[in-house]
Amino acid sequence: MTQQGAGIEERHRERIESVHAEFPDIPLEAVLKEDILRLGIWFTDAALAAAGEYARKSYFIFSFDRKPLEDMAETPRVGAPEEIRFSGGEAGLAGTVVSVRLNPDSPWVVEHDPEALSENTTGCRLVLAGVVIADRVEFAPTPPYYGLTTADGTPLVETAPSIEWGYLLYLTVFRMCQYFGRDEECQFCDINRNFKQQRDAGKVYNAVKPVERIIEALRIIDERGSRAKAYTLTGGSVTSRLDGLDEASFYIRYAEAIERAFPGRWIG
């Protein structure tokens, strides 16, 4: 890192400290989390190797990343976790879960300190401007149903990935948006670009998930004892017709089918 870059990161850390001092009623953990979500985060290869088994980033609707996948190093691009939970450090931070948004230029980096390795920690830590902010970083655990497929061979992680440390199933049943092209797409949204980059990367990434596949996936998840208690049903806008249906009719059929198959099981 150049001296100028180090100076910018140092000033950024001072700015975070000043925000917390100005608004003491806001927990420091919330200030740090918001900044990580805003700027993204990066991982050293050593940190990813030390983390062991964990849930990889599924790109369930948007990328949330600050750069396209093709502009990132391969190991973090393929091995980034869905979420992390940081804690500890000099401030005694409470465990705080953060969704991973990759940015190789972020001042926030998860690195590995082999001397910090113990029975209770992988040695991963959260660093800002060369300063250890949290001396414990955990990666989201792999749900028990990851690695399984539906009868047609579709991976369950593609059909019903989980977030919020396994609590929430994210059902993106329409992975694109009919607001398409420069003149129509929301400039802050990358749902269509993310669909293309996932397909270009060779991932199983279906535009529309059939109702029957969603129900089959939920049945497997339920039988496997997943800790998931709720689901989000979402997708891109339907401005004309999709599967011969308008937007409301297209989406409501999923919610109705889920409730028929699992009455009272899921918070929707």
| Cα gap 262→260, rounded to integer Å | 6
- What sign results for the dihedral spanned by CA atoms 78, 56, 101, 85? negative
- Average per-residue pLDDT in the chain? 92
Give the pLDDT score at 118. Answer: 67
> Which pLDDT does position 3 carry in this prediction?
46
Handedness of CA 44, 35, 57, 196 (dihedral sign): negative
Flag whether pLDDT at 159 surpasses 90. Answer: yes
- The amino acid that residue 184 corresponds to is E
pTM: predicted TM-score of the whole model, two decimal places: 0.90
Residue 151, pLDDT > 70, answer yes
| Cα angle for residues 136, 1, 29 (degrees, 5° grid) | 30
Which pLDDT score is estimated for 6? Answer: 55
- Mean pLDDT score, 24-45: 96
Predicted local distance difference test score (pLDDT) of residue 120 = 62
pLDDT tens digits, residue range 111-125? 999 887 666 678 999
- Residue spans of the domains in the chain: they are 3-139, 156-261
- Sign of the Cα pseudo-torsion (206, 211, 212, 216, in order): positive
- For Cα atoms 47, 50, 54, give the angle at the middle one, nearest 5 degrees: 95
Question: Taking residues 246-257, what's their average pLDDT?
Answer: 98
Tell me: pLDDT of 8 over 80: no
Give buried/exposed letters for 3-34 (b at 16+ CB in 10 A, else e).
eeeeeebeebbeebeeebeeeeeeebbeebbe
Task: Give the pLDDT band (50/70/90) at residue 58.
Answer: very high
Closest CA relative to residue 165, chosen from 264, 27, 54: 54
The torsion angles phi and psi of 108, rounded to 5 degrees, stand at: -90, 125
